[in-house]
A and B are shown apart, each in its own frame.
Chain A
């Protein structure tokens, strides 16, 4: 065994044996990862031997490190290239997520509305049928073999005729295109009725709604004048939940964490479990739309969010002793940590999905790099506008200089801190978020809130992965993800 130094191995790095790795120190152990997302926890002595080339070649550890591509002179290039290709499969596909903002009107007044929705009487903010037709045409030009059309708003159901038209038109066009077509409706559900539900289910539309926790918490964040938003949402949620059981399309709920949520992780998760949800998505607030203006009232620091996240996550692990129930951010990371199947979550890939993985279409036909770019336009900043469905071509939008700049900025190899970060194989940056928070699409990670949050979540996940029992739970979460396939 070598004498220990502050950082073992620096002085004696043995280039012939040590393959590429990133590392960080975690207490008395080191976590190492490589480009394929393989990871190992090493003791201080093992780390010293690894970096100095002194590992016993007949040891179990050496064999494991060699198998996972950490030993330079034992690399299997075929396997490595194949795994890299699989993990970055999205690079070959093009935009698959198409966000359509059919209206900016909404019947809610949510405190954090990131879309800066307008009041119900402002009919100038509805998409016309003519624009909708051009949007669908443009969507089907995308080079991706898989298409997801996601209705956003405002509240999409306010402009029901256009929702209905796009669903029908997309299904019709797809008979010829034969792509894997998914349609999602992101809605507060309060304007649904049985006829609309029947139409949407007939056309295999997935539902996604917002649920911020128990009634008092939800209604405090999401204000529906004269009524309880929570009661309205749950009434429809339960109905759709019953009708979509055992179907490939279903209803999911999303949580937005505000300062009022921080003290109540258990209440929130219990609410989701009570409703029969498969999991919960613990999402932090973004400094976009109305949220930015009231940040001092509803916002929080990265550390405050992480404290909430860790308590919520540990409670979720307790729940998993009796039933499978996942946390979605963790599940995305875990897919990248435990498998070579990248879930193509557009904010957590390198480069990010803006323009090359997703495109957003505004009510007026404006095309944006992504939904966040479109949200920024509601703050009078058109930086991320890349075209108009009535002019130019698909190629003009996807090859737009903004898309090129965003792709370069979100490629983690170009990010000073990210390129060396132990979590690089699993992470991603959002240039719009960087721009909104720091005025620069490249971002400065040491002071970036999202970076701190993601690092904190990954720190927590890896601390849990040190216990093999937790890994079994996490693999069950991933099997749940595989249950869904294209219709």
Chain B
């Protein structure tokens, strides 16, 4: 629902339908055109106020609602894939330490889309085996002692890094990067 107070547009949003994060993200994208204020009014209502920065910067209520839907979808996709994305990046970073046998990807439990409440978007449970593997990988990185501060060895000078190695190995490493 939108109301106009002078040049300020106030849009009331049902907080049971849209998560606050989606509301904030959608509102943020309008900060090039308007000053934005977000206020929680009642238990289930969040009010977003837009005050245009100049002439021709009007924020259209419909445009904001579409952006809100976009952000809600982005948030949902992001949350439901968070563990898998973390797994892929962790595996890439420490690939030499990763066992070759990969557990199958889990699709999560089947659910009825009609019963889902958008306001309760939660990360899809990842298969227990996969979850454990992710935790193990992260813990290996954290336990890497002195490397914790510089796991990729960027701050180690060239000579020191390769000094102890035979020439042929140094050349090979340099080639591989």
Residues of chain A having any CB pair with chain B under 8 Å: 6-7, 9-23, 25, 35, 51-52, 72-75, 77-78, 80-82, 84-85, 88-89, 91-95, 140-146, 177-180, 356, 393-395, 398-399, 416-417, 420, 444, 446-447
Contacts and interface: CB of A to CB of B under 8 A. Distances in A.
A153 to B, nearest CB: 27
B166 interface: no
A16, A177, A394: most-surrounded residue (chain B CB, <10 A)? A16
A420 B92 contact: no
A395 B155 contact: yes
Given A21-B77, A399-B150, A447 B91 contact: no
Contacts of A417: 28-29
Contacts of B106: 73
A7 B88 CA distance: 29
Contacts of B69: 6-7, 10
B73 interface: yes
Going nearest first, the 8 A-B pairs with the smallest beta carbon separation are A16-B107, A145-B174, A20-B81, A7-B69, A73-B107, A141-B157, A81-B91, A446-B32
19 contacts: A6-B65, A7-B69, A9-B73, A10-B76, A12-B114, A13-B73, A20-B78, A23-B73, A51-B77, A72-B105, A78-B102, A82-B95, A91-B152, A93-B154, A94-B154, A94-B155, A177-B158, A178-B171, A180-B174
Given A13-B76, A15-B124, A82 B156 contact: no
A77 B88 contact: yes
B175 interface: yes
Given A7-B66, A85-B95, A178 B124 contact: no
Given A92-B177, A146-B177, A15 B111 contact: yes
Interface in B163-177: 170-171, 173-177
Nearest to B66: A6
Interface residues of B, number: 58
Contacts of B158: 140-144, 177, 179
B14 to A, nearest CB: 14
Interface of B: 25, 28-32, 65-66, 69-74, 76-78, 80-81, 84-85, 87-89, 91-93, 95, 98, 102, 105-108, 110-111, 113-114, 118, 124, 149-150, 152-159, 161, 170-171, 173-177
B113 A80 contact: no
A395 B156 contact: yes
A76 to B, nearest CB: 9
A10 B106 CA distance: 22
B151 to A, nearest CB: 10
B66 to A, nearest CB: 5
Contacts of B150: 399
Nearest to B98: A81
Contacts of A85: 92-93, 95
Contacts of A142: 157-158
Contacts of A6: 65-66, 69
Contacts of B159: 141
Nearest to A404: B149
Contact of B77 (A20, A75, A82): A20
B147 to A, nearest CB: 13
Contact of A18 (B71, B77, B154, B170): B77
Contacts of B93: 85
Nearest to B90: A81
A35 B174 contact: no
Given A14-B113, A395-B157, A416-B25, A82 B92 contact: yes
